[in-house]
Amino acid sequence: MTMLGRQYDTQVCSIARALEVVGERWSLLVIRDAFLGVRRFDDFQRSLGVARNVLQSRLERLVEEGILERRLYQERPPRHEYRLTDRGVDLWPVIFALMKWGDRHAYPDGPPVVAIHRGCGGEVDEHRICRKCGCPLEARDVQPRPGPGARANAAALHPALA
Binding-site ranges for a second copy (CB under 8 A): 3-8, 11-21, 23-26, 28-29, 32, 48-51, 54, 87, 90-91, 93-107, 111-113, 126-129, 136, 149-151, 154
Pick 98 or 133: Cβ nearer a second copy: 98
Pick 97 or 120: Cβ nearer a second copy: 97
Cα angle, residue 91 at apex, residues 44 and 16 outer, rounded to 5°: 110
Q: In the 8-state DSSP scheme, what is residue 12?
A: -
Least distance from C-beta 80 to a second copy, angstroms?
24
Least distance from C-beta 119 to a second copy, angstroms?
17
Least distance from C-beta 10 to a second copy, angstroms?
9
Q: In the 8-state DSSP scheme, what is residue 80?
A: E
117: helix, strand or coil: strand
Give bridge partners of residue 16 from the DSSP assignment. Answer: none
Pick 73 or 156: Cβ nearer a second copy: 156
Q: In the 8-state DSSP scheme, what is residue 122?
A: P
Question: What are the backbone angles phi and psi of residue 39, rounded to the nearest 5°?
Answer: -135, -25
Pick 63 or 150: Cβ nearer a second copy: 150
Least distance from C-beta 139 to a second copy, angstroms?
12
Whether the CB-CB separation of 28 and 59 falls below 8 Å is answered with no
Chain Cα centroid distance, residue 13? 23
